[in-house]
Amino acid sequence: MDLLSVQINDFLHYVGVNDRDTGLFENLWPLTNGVSYNSYLITAEKTALLDTVKISKLSDFKSKLQAALQGRDLDYLVIHHMEPDHSGAISTIMDLYPNVQLVGNKRTIGFLNDFYGITENIIEVKDKDSLDLGDRSLEFYTTPMVHWPESMVSYEPKSKILFSQDAFGGFGALDGTIFDDEINMDFYSSEIRRYFSNIVGKFSKPIQSALKKLSGLEISMVCPVHGPVWRKNPEKIIELYDKWSKHEVKDGVVVVYASMYGNTQKMAEIVARELAEQGIKNIKVFDVSKTHESYILNEIWEYKGLILGSCTYNNYMFPMMTQLVNVLEMNNLQNHILGVFGSFSWSGGAVKALKEFGEKGKYDLLSTVVETKCSATDEDIQGLQELAKEMAEKLKGE
């Protein structure tokens, strides 16, 4: 009996692995709860492996694959996405199964050569091409820039299963659970949104194009390469990705500050208290020096209001605030109201930089701006309260 892989149905096996060792996804985003690398095996008249895993998890992956194959040869390896956390084991698979044929689109073929020097045993597929597996088949749909140029998905029409590569994925190792109906989504919902905001959110327009292309498909299950398999309610994750990629936000305010000696922090506390006085219930306050931008970006993607405050450091924003602003610029956020404040000791610069950021981005920039010298005066406190009131009025008005 195969106790290593998980049998999804009579022809499909889950052969993915968990990674609880890696500290940073893409060596950038924290993996507090780990991550899964999902791979799937179709055992029809022909066998097809859908994506591989990160090379550091090869041993577990190989054992699961061999158990699921039960001595059969591997006919095809379908490559939906060439990022190394999914393509890292391709060369090993080719060594284990010399007859395997790799399936990918034109851009995939270029990456295969560039990453691994692979140029043979490749089947090129185009948009809406089909791969015959006997009693099953796969239809391919290119989804460029979701979130690499070669990204594509495949669809098994008989079972109506969508293999969606990085789309519809999420952070978090799968703690014994694989499917959405096995999981307490309270544990996973924030990590799924954090994955979206950190990894694919910047490609929201291509995501919308992909959703439109796939809208005619009847989908009974979504099998992504990270996070849970959506077999009970695949509409849920599709709806969430649609909402997030449209930059739909909820009422609430994220206040982020950078402070060296506490003066700018006090300004942030005044703003947050006044927001509460004005009836705003969803308020999140972050010290950018203590909370990684991954988590801050996740909350900003959820709420409409954003207030940034920074002390001046070398005539500019504090370095950690500069990093957060760079991340926000990269993600091209929309539908947000932005307020700014800051402080300086002898020479300003932070508030000016924050205003310039707001003016060149797609933000509704509040007119009230507060810049404090050293520590807040009574007049500054009134200005901060006015900033919060203006934000609350905007939120209520919309």
DSSP conformation letters of 79-135: -S--SHHHHTTHHHHHHH-TT-EEEE-HHHHHHHHHHH---SSEEE--TT-EEE-SS
Distances (CA, A) of 128 to 24, 148, 193: 35, 19, 29
**Burial, 259: exposed, middle or buried (Cβ in 10 Å; 0-12, 13-18, 19+)?**
buried
Residue 358: φ, ψ to 5°: -65, -35
Question: Which single residue is written with the structure tokens 């307020």?
Answer: 339
Give the integer Cα–Cα distance in Å for 320 and 24: 18
Question: Which single residue is written with the structure tokens 């190989």?
Answer: 62
Helix axes 204-214, 234-245, angle to 10 degrees: 140
Name the β-bridge partners of 77.
49, 102
Question: Which single residue is written with the structure tokens 């909820």?
Answer: 250
Mean pLDDT by 10 residues, the chain (398 residues): 77 97 96 97 98 96 96 98 96 97 98 97 97 98 96 98 97 95 90 97 96 97 98 97 97 98 97 98 98 98 98 96 97 96 94 96 96 96 98 91
Residue 367, C-beta contacts closer than 8 angstroms, at least 6 positions apart: 390
Distances (CA, A) of 305 to 82, 249, 314, 362: 36, 9, 28, 13
Q: Are strands 161-163 and 152-156 parallel, antiparallel or unpaired?
A: antiparallel
Name the β-bridge partners of 221.
161
The pair of three-digit structure tokens given for residue 266, joined into one six-digit string: 């006090």
Residue 37's SS3 state is strand
Q: Please state the pTM of the whole predicted model.
A: 0.94
Q: How many CB atoms lie within 10 A of CB 263?
A: 17
Taking alpha carbons only, the member of 240, 248, 247, 250 closest to residue 281 is: 250
Q: What is the pLDDT at residue 1?
A: 40
The pair of three-digit structure tokens given for residue 86, joined into one six-digit string: 């999914």
Q: What is the pLDDT at residue 155?
A: 98
The answer to whether the CB of 211 falls within 8 A of the CB of 238 is yes
DSSP H/E element including 257: strand 250-258
Put the strands of the sheet holding 221-223 in their side by side order.
130-132, 137-142, 152-156, 161-163, 221-223
